[in-house]
Structure 1
Amino acid sequence: MKIMPNRLDKGFYLYQEEFEKKALEVLRSGWYVLGKEVQSFEEEFAAYTGSRYCVGLASGLDALWIAFRVLGIGKGDEVIVQGNTYIASVMGITINGAAPVFVEPDEYFNIDASQIEDRITDRTKAILVVHLYGQASNMAPIMDIARRHGLRVVEDCAQSHGARFGGQMTGTFGDIGCFSFYPSKNLGAFGDAGAIVTNDPKIAEDVRVFRNYGSEKRYYNRVVGTNSRLDELQAGLLRVRLSHMEELEADKRRICGRYLAELTHPDIVLPSIRDGATHIWHQFVVRTERRQELIDYLNDREIGTIIHYPIPPHLSEAYRYLGFGEGSLPITECYARTVLSIPLYNGMTAEEQEYVIEAINRFQ
């Protein structure tokens, strides 16, 4: 039996008729940019998250860098962010000329709130909270720190669609919540797509103008903006998947509940769930000091895995200029050496999962 780490086609086939009907509807409409599908998706996704406003964008990275741009954070400013995130989170900061200030993660793979305050300087302007792998971060102390120090809070929710902390949806705690709808996400499009959510009407308006060449009226440009528009086709297909999010989330919880209950290998550390937080399982990430052995063993049995992520941003070639060396962030670097994502996707059968579980438990 061959098991891929992810199967996007299964997610399509679950609602094939609805996806195809919507695609034809959009194609036949003759309107493909900033039309009724985008407007409807923005309204529906805002309601889903509990935000007042949603603005559709071309990608999750665009959501991040545009968020900092409209908040006026740039050259000379610092943004606190966890070290073990995907590099796009850091790019959202540095594209604007600001500097990332790295903080170690906690045992749940999210930013360790207890370390944030020690990293604040007179140049600190914001905290970027990344809800990694689908689990909500520890938002209560983070928001308390932000209020006391007058800091902006941007949430990277690329992997946390639907996750909650204290009953509140990720993306709604800070000034701006940034979402990616890359196809592998729990709410995935069929290409690149993204959005921001906010409760601030000015931020929402600024992002709407900025995404469309800085124009609030055609050919009348208020600012030097960019072209980052969620297209009609992706918006329509996202509306279909959004209407099924409750059942898709339940399916992931079922699969991961079985992993948590039945994976018993002593050399493998299973993920933990924070009290008061929910996990929507974008990835099921284990840790093991024997990672390469396990990867090779599973490859021999045609079970695919992915490392999220093997090189932390501070050690990447792209950010060599920041001057970090190995050992700068030991917990982040330990995670980079030991994390491994095992197969997880909507539509995964019980037989497929049983094959994965049995193989891992028999690992010698």
Structure 2
Amino acid sequence: MEQQIPMVDLRAHFAPLRAEILEGVGEILDQAGFILGAHGRSLEAELSEYLGVAHGVGCASGTDALLLALRALDIGPGDEVIVPTFTFIATAEAVRYVGATPVFADVDAEYFCVTAESVAPLISKRTRAIIPVHLYGQPAPMPELLQLAEQHGIPLIEDMAQAIGARFNDQRVGSFGRLACVSFFPSKNLGGAGDGGMVFTQDEALATRLRGLRNHGSWQTYEHEVLGYNSRLDEIQALILRKLFRQMDEYNAGRRRAAGLYDAALQDLSLQVPMRRAGAEHVFHQYTIQIDERDALRARLHAEKIGCGVYYPIPCHQQRAFADLAPSHCPVAERLKERVLSLPMFPELSSAQVERIAGVIRAHLQGG
């Protein structure tokens, strides 16, 4: 009987570091220091240096990272923030959390990201930020988006939840915008054993503001200048992430290797493999194909015990949570939601597993 192939194999991912992680957790338990400690500070410094930015501020989740970034810029009621419609809801959700209005931009049909062309018509006098998402590990077209933002004096907040380690023109994503936000959700390219996130910035004043906002609006113990949040990255998560970060580039190389195997195995079939933007280094958080009659293939893969997923079946502008907003015109996203299918993708994915997945897809398309 064929073994199940999951979308992501976290057991295989954590197994080589299990003993080392448990030893480190034991040391934390012995020291009884769990919040805003040495591992958290070291992780902030290590990731900031890696990205080429001055500051990293850990927090409790990727969604909180977005929320804190918006609060740091004093964005709130009456303001608009332009976000992609074709992404996870957290990006737009954070905008609503601060009382601002998300304005939904359509995405490119080949690369799944917003472009200057899709964003420009949405800029108004109330626009206070633009949040491009580096979706599936593919960098958004940052030079053109930065140029547009600078023309209008609008800050960019990068949502790099799915793309840590990716580069555009040899520059790491997360170092382009005024602020950048990452998620450490377990399935991410750098994922922990629970939730976590971080905000990056070159601006020391913004970093200082972020550190207080994540800690109940307090910069001095028991002095609260504003209402903030309880959003702190704990020491156990920081320890685990530091262990994994040492090998993150190898993990991303494993994802690119698996993507190359998929490309070769699927190239002659009636589907579209993921495109790579010129000048960009994709890190393949997801390997997402486009195919007609997608749901039939999804059912076949599930029947063969092969994981797959649709990211995302409902664009944000069509979510009931945003039904009170003005209608948005996003035809590309509305077509993509019917065609995208993400195949298993993780650094440990073997050539035999890719061959089996591709064989099932080939048999399905050829009527076998």
**TM-score for both structures, normalised by structure 2:** 0.96
- The Cα of 1:115 is off from its aligned counterpart by 2.3
Name which of 180, 189, 192 aligns with 1:189.
192
Name which of 148, 158, 161 aligns with 1:158.
161
Q: In the alignment, is residue 286 of structure 1 matched against residue 283 of structure 2? A: no
Report if aligned partners of 1:10, 1:346 keep a CA contact under 8 Å in 2.
no
- The Cα of 1:308 is off from its aligned counterpart by 0.6
Q: Name the CA distance, whole Å, in 2 between partners of 1:284 and 1:100.
A: 28
The amino acid that maps onto 2:146 is M
The amino acid that maps onto 1:91 is E
Q: Name the CA distance, whole Å, in 1 between partners of 2:255 and 2:24.
A: 25
What CA deviation, in whole Å up to 9, does each residue of 1:160-185 have, x standing for no partner? Answer: 10111111111111110000000000
Name which of 229, 233, 236 aligns with 1:233.
236
Give 2:335's aligned residue: 334
Report if aligned partners of 1:77, 1:123 keep a CA contact under 8 Å in 2.
yes
Q: What does residue range 283-322 of structure 1 map to in structure 2 within 5 Å?
A: 283-322=286-325
What CA deviation, in whole Å up to 9, does each residue of 1:196-239 have, x standing for no partner? Answer: 00000011000000101111121111211110000000001000
User: How many residues are aligned here?
Assistant: 362
Q: What does residue range 17-96 of structure 1 map to in structure 2 within 5 Å?
A: 17-96=19-98
| Cα RMSD for the two superposed structures | 1.2
The secondary structure found in structure 2 opposite 1:101 is strand
Q: Name the CA distance, whole Å, in 2 between partners of 1:10 and 1:250.
A: 16
- The Cα of 1:303 is off from its aligned counterpart by 0.8
Moved more, 112-121 or 81-90: 112-121
- The Cα of 1:65 is off from its aligned counterpart by 1.1
Q: Name the CA distance, whole Å, in 1 between partners of 2:28 and 2:46.
A: 18
Give 2:131's aligned residue: 128
Structure-2 change in CA distance of 1:347 and 1:266 (3 Å): closer
**Misfit runs of 4+, over 6 Å:** none
The amino acid that maps onto 1:352 is Q
Q: Name the CA distance, whole Å, in 1 between partners of 2:91 and 2:74.
A: 17
The secondary structure found in structure 2 opposite 1:129 is coil
Report if aligned partners of 1:83, 1:332 keep a CA contact under 8 Å in 2.
yes
Give 1:357's aligned residue: 358
Report if aligned partners of 1:264, 1:361 keep a CA contact under 8 Å in 2.
no
- The Cα of 1:25 is off from its aligned counterpart by 2.1
- The Cα of 1:266 is off from its aligned counterpart by 3.1
Q: Name the CA distance, whole Å, in 2 between partners of 1:264 and 1:162.
A: 26
Q: Name the CA distance, whole Å, in 2 between partners of 1:105 and 1:264.
A: 24
In structure 1, list runs of 5 or more residues that go unmatched: none
Report if aligned partners of 2:254, 2:347 keep a CA contact under 8 Å in 1.
yes
What CA deviation, in whole Å up to 9, does each residue of 1:115-151 have, x standing for no partner? Answer: 2222111111111110000011100111011111100
The amino acid that maps onto 1:336 is K
Report if aligned partners of 2:84, 2:114 keep a CA contact under 8 Å in 1.
yes
Q: Name the CA distance, whole Å, in 2 between partners of 1:14 and 1:356.
A: 25
Report if aligned partners of 2:115, 2:145 keep a CA contact under 8 Å in 1.
no
The secondary structure found in structure 2 opposite 1:80 is strand
Identity over aligned pairs, percent: 39
Report if aligned partners of 1:312, 1:333 keep a CA contact under 8 Å in 2.
yes
Q: Name the CA distance, whole Å, in 1 between partners of 2:315 and 2:273.
A: 21
The amino acid that maps onto 2:198 is A
Q: Name the CA distance, whole Å, in 2 between partners of 1:361 and 1:337.
A: 20
**TM-score for both structures, normalised by structure 1:** 0.97
Q: Name the CA distance, whole Å, in 1 between partners of 2:44 and 2:181.
A: 13
- The Cα of 1:17 is off from its aligned counterpart by 2.5
Report if aligned partners of 2:253, 2:347 keep a CA contact under 8 Å in 1.
no
Report if aligned partners of 1:82, 1:110 keep a CA contact under 8 Å in 2.
yes
In structure 2, list runs of 5 or more residues that go unmatched: none
The secondary structure found in structure 2 opposite 1:196 is strand
